[in-house]
Structure 1
Amino acid sequence: MTKKRILAGGIAQESHSFNPVLTDRARFNIQSGQAAIASARGTNSLLGGILDTAEQADIEVLVPTLFRAQSGGPVEDVVFAEMRDILCDAAKRGDFDAIVLPLHGGMLTPTLEDPEGELMALLRAIVGPGLPMTVAFDLHAHVTPRILKTCDFLAGYLTNPHGDQGSTGRRACRAALDILGGQLRPVLSAVHVPMLTLGHDRTDEEPLMGLQARARAAVESGLAYDVSIFNAQQFLDVHGLGNWVLAYGNGSDGGRDRLALELAQSLWDQRHALIGTYPSLDECLDRAERGTKRPLILGDQGDRVAGGGPGDSTYVLRALLDRPGLPAAVVPLTDPASVAACHAAGNGSQVTLDVGGCYSTMAPPTTITGKVIGLGTEAHVTYDGPADAGYKAKLGAYAVVEVGKVRVLLTDQPYSYLDPDYFRAMGIDPAKMGVVITRSGYHFTLNFAATGECITVDTPGMTSYQVHELPFTVARPFFPLDEPDFVPVLAEHPSRMV
């Protein structure tokens, strides 16, 4: 008997419509074939979960290519086209029984506002309507009707901060195997909600904790095969922006329609509660000056690379330099020119640099004078986890400049610093700092929990949750910029016509 095969791969990146810096090929970790499989096996990643489920079922996984990058500006069209062509060429060979795609779902290119849907539609045209295609997305994906109509099943993360990447990949793969085996005929109940969640959207806190519990109970009771609640990337100026509730059943309805409608209505009813507030930077630095038992790990939510920001805001750096009474601190900045200047000067040199503020215009460039204490042309990170535990990433050139008690970590590319090993890879132990700045809002909290006290800080910038400061046009109307009339309605879907 011929061994069954699954085709996996694709591209994963979260885009920010208002970040003018396009994400180029150099920003991507690109792997294929056995190298991609070996790198993902045993990790808490989407592909890791797919591999885990497939290998338990003695099914081979083919990975023609997998592009993965941190959040940023839209992805260059040529990069998307390269990945698309590789995956479509592999699909044309037809030596597989199902497709399972580990994607993100929140990506843009300059010409495409739904590139994942474009990829899926091209693959569907190649393989035809009968071959199972399932997909795994981030909870912050931009879900579109084309995506829902093209794939047989879409699974989203159930946690925020995200700790269930692997189990999401397993859900997507299990659905494909169940379709192949005849145990699943997926029928979708889907509802779009024209709103954003802004800052109070952790799934381990109310109100989303309760909504996710209701969804989980429906799956456990057999009311639904799978339920995902997508809260959407908040910085996409695209048509149809908003939250989605997806409830998949196996064949006939049995109350699943009502579940999707009720969850969507609950989301809308609690929309005001999903707008969060954060402590000020000054409050947190006051605490640091008084002394804390553990390092303060602060998320600069106004310039979150994890949310697509450029990572060059000097707002926090300026505050740290103005407070000589602070303990040792480290703050990262994206600044390729300053990295090059430090490399030219050499390790141990005194340098004066104008750093940051190129794209984050709410905080201007800042002049620093200090000693170069670390240099490298590349660095290698392995995530501690639990989020993406075991995932490996290669970083580009960097320099560390010591300015008093502040270590300014300069890189030639933006990074989110979601894991402590980003700092260790560039020669800084975050556990020995008094204040550590990450380019994340709250995703960093899972992996830094063992290192220090994690706090998201209210800072200005491109990824601030003050969305009224951003020039949205295409995406409107949506709450909180608007108050559209909303009554939950089931989206049309081919599976409901069967």
Structure 2
Amino acid sequence: MKLRVAVGGLSHETNQYSSTSTEFDDFEIVTGRAVFERHAGRTYVGGMVAAASEAGAEVVGTLHAEALPAGTIARTAYQRLKQALLESLGAVLPVDGVLLDLHGAAAAEGVDDVEGDICRAVRDLIGPAVPLVVTHDLHGNISQAEADVVDAMFGVHHYPHDDMFERGQEAMRAVSLIARGRWRPYVHVERLPLLVPQTTTYEGIGAKAREICQRFEEQDGILDCTFMHGFPYADHAFVGAQVVTIADNSDNELARRVARDAARLIWALRDEFTVDYPNPDEALRLAEAGRQWPVVVNEVSDNPGGGAPGDGTHLLRALLAARPENAVFVGIKDPDVVRQAIEAGVGATIDIRLGGKTDTLHGAPIECRAYVKLLSDGEVVLEAPMGRGWRYPLGRSARLVIDGVDVVVISRAMQTLDRTPLLLHGIDAARCNLIALKSAHHFRSGFGEVAKAVVSTDPPGLSTMRLDTFPRSRTPRPVYPLDAHTTYGD
């Protein structure tokens, strides 16, 4: 029997400390077959589509809405998005299964658990017998309320998220196995009183935590075990890290026991999540001292992938003051400066106020003179393992030369994921001495083969690793590392 599976989604990573509200028009919305065209490549949806034939399924596009990470979703925007998703799904019923690409850290005005709210509404629409399976980002703040209404959920295991495609494949296979009566999953969310700063799984504690869950996943009866780092830039009742397990045969006791056992082992390593990165001046001195090129200096605290504005000037100001040889900064968001460069044209010299226009936290604008070297439409297709083949629009952009430093200015708040934004602007990353960029860890997927070293810096910003800088009125306390006396599993 060939299954008919509906595919859709709503994805947003909400930084509740951002002053910028996320409105309806901020979402890129596609419907029908366009869902598969827009999200082709090594994405969750790409994996779902790739596994459909093997699973004996026909995929039907519904609605997929995605916005750049930013502040809380406006109430009316969320209501419209939710209604549109439900109407799109209702139009293709009946189906044998539903797959949703959901981030896990979306929050709207009055709705902290957007994913749980959507899944409850979808369950009410499709009824109890139709399999409902979702994919999640590793930074999801997942609720048990959501887990109770879905049949299965698959979060990425890696950061950078270079396994989105594989999780999408798993989700499609799960729908098929559940629909055919071969799987009867139970999902348990074990919450830890732990706020995790952005932590790569390529090495260190992130790799250790991933390996702990992987060992438990190998147990009989366990279909999946994932350590979800959570998204610490939120302030609500279920912010924080979780271990999510899926057990077969509706074995809720097995799912709970394995999740708690894995969580205890991770909790014992909690001190290793603490990081202390240097300020920009110190980071640049460390980069220069190594003398092994190229070196990537990444600004973790103004990471657009974490809801920061992407127009912070702390690292760029230090870079211009240091005047290193053969350096590039990619990229800083400033659509006004891009328009100014376009109006002046290639070869012009212009006086600009660059960056620092969203707030005062991320630094003041840089007033300087710049040479317009290249203009671009900003259209990029990713080549890194994370998201390969996915269209990644930076908006109209300009390559400026400021005090001998190449500075790529973009119109949208986009973190630098791989080397394609440099290539688009005529820059070969392998020939650079120093590459400064805005990203916490995703860049590691795209620069791993070329960077001889990485130095991270953490000036003030909305995605800082210093989690104690954020006020918290609704986060359950005690929570580690804000409260040293926090206990778990005793």
Q: Same fold (TM over 0.5)?
A: yes
Measure the CA separation in 1 of the matches of 2:315 and 2:486: 40
Q: Which stretch of the first structure deviates more once superposed, 133-142 or 169-178? A: 169-178
Is 1:226–1:248's contact at 8 Å kept on the other side of the alignment? yes
Structure 1 match to 2:480:
479
Structure 1 residue 423, shift from structure 2 partner: 2.8
Question: How many Å separate the matches in 1 of 2:324 and 2:87?
Answer: 60
8 Å CA contact 2:143, 2:189 repeated in 1: no
What's 1:92 paired with?
Answer: 90
Q: Contact 2:6–2:97 at 8 Å: present in 1 too? A: yes
The 3-state SS of whatever aligns with 2:218 is helix
How has the CA–CA distance of structure 1 residues 151 and 26 changed in structure 2, closer, same or farther, with 3 Å as cutoff?
Answer: same
**How far apart are the structure 1 equivalents of 2:253 and 2:280?**
50
Aligned residue for 1:322? 321
Contact kept? 1:195, 1:480, Cα under 8 Å: yes
Partner amino acid, structure 2, of 1:475: T
**Counterpart in 2 of 1:336?**
335
Residues 109 and 258 (structure 1), Cα distance of their counterparts in 2 relative to 1, 3 Å cut: closer
Displacement of 1:28 after TM fit? Answer: 4.1
Q: Letter of the aligned partner of 2:481 in structure 1?
A: P
Within 2, Cα distance between the matches of 1:156 and 1:32?
24
SS at match of 2:237: coil
Counterpart Cα distance in 2 of 1:413 and 1:24: 15
Q: CA RMSD in A?
A: 2.3
What is residue 461 of structure 1 aligned with on the other side? 461
TM-score where L is the length of structure 2 = 0.92
Instruction: Return the offset for 1:123.
Output: 0.8
- Alpha-carbon offset, residue 291 of structure 1: 7.3
Q: CA offset at residue 77 of structure 1? A: 4.2
Q: Please, which moves more after superposition, 179-188 or 472-481? A: 472-481
Deviations 1:180-214 (A, max 9, x none): 11111112343111211124x33233434333223
Q: Is the 8 A contact 1:383 1:391 kept in 2?
A: yes
Assess if the C-alpha contact under 8 Å between 1:288 and 1:327 holds in 2: no
Aligned length: 485
Cα offset, 1:257, TM superposition: 3.1
1:266 partner SS = helix
Residues 29 and 394 of structure 1 are in contact (CA less than 8 Å); yes or no, is this contact kept in structure 2? no
Q: Which moved more, 1:91-100 or 1:227-236?
A: 91-100
CA distance in 1, matches of 2:224, 2:241: 17
Cα deviation, residue 78, structure 1: 4.7
Query: 2 CA distance for matches of 1:245 and 1:97?
Result: 29
State the percentage of identical aligned residues: 25
Change in CA separation of 1:229 and 1:111 when aligned onto 2, cut-off 3 Å: same
The answer (yes or no) to whether the contact 1:197–1:231 under 8 Å persists in 2 is: yes
| Residues 417, 423 of structure 1: 8 Å contact kept | no
* Secondary structure in structure 1 of the residue aligned to 2:138: coil
Aligned-partner residue type, residue 62 of structure 2: P
Q: For 2:18 and 2:165, how far apart are their aligned partners in 1? A: 29
Give the equivalent residue in structure 2 for 1:138: 137
Q: CA deviation at 1:14?
A: 1.2
1:325 Cα deviation after fit: 4.0
Q: Check the 8 A contact 2:283/2:456 in 1, yes or no.
A: no
What letter matches 1:352 in structure 2?
D
CA contact (8 A) 1:300 1:456 kept: yes
Equivalent AA in structure 1 for residue 219 of structure 2: S
1:374 aligns with 2:374: yes
In 2 relative to 1, CA 329–426 (structure 1 residues): closer, same or farther, beyond 3 Å?
Answer: closer
Change (3 A) 1:25 1:374: farther
CA 1:120/1:426 → structure 2, altered by over 3 Å: closer, same or farther? farther
Match of 1:217 in 2: 215
Contact 2:34 2:61 in 1 (8 A): no
Which residues of structure 2 form unaligned runs of 5+?
A: none
Look up the SS of the partner of 1:245 in the other structure: strand
Q: How far is 1:487 from its partner? A: 3.9
Tell me the distance in 2 between the aligned counterparts of 1:325 and 1:439.
Answer: 18
Q: Which amino acid aligns with 1:207?
A: I
Mapped to 2, the partners of 1:339 and 1:100 lie a distance apart of 39
Deviation beyond 6 Å, 4+ runs, structure 1: none
Residues 11-53 of structure 1 show CA distances to partners (whole Å, capped at 9, x for unaligned) of: 2221211111233456544333223324444x22111111122
Could you say which residue in structure 2 is the equivalent of 1:120?
Answer: 119
Task: Give the direction of change, closer, same or farther, for the CA distance of 1:196–1:254 in structure 2 (3 Å limit).
Answer: closer
Partner of 1:492: none
- For 1:434 and 1:172, locate their aligned partners in 2 and report how far apart those are by CA, in whole Å: 42
* Residue-by-residue CA offset, 1:373-424 (whole Å, 9 max, x unaligned): 2224x32111112111111123322222211221222222211111211233
| More divergent stretch after superposition (158-167 vs 268-277) | 268-277
Q: Which residue of 2 aligns with 1:268?
A: 267
Preserved contact between residue 280 and residue 314 of structure 2 (Cα < 8 Å): no
SS in 2 for 1:342: helix
1:230-284 C-alpha deviation (Å, 9 max, x unpaired): 1101101122211111221112367443221111222322222211233443344
Secondary structure class of the residue paired with 2:95: coil
Alignment-mate amino acid for residue 472 of structure 1: R
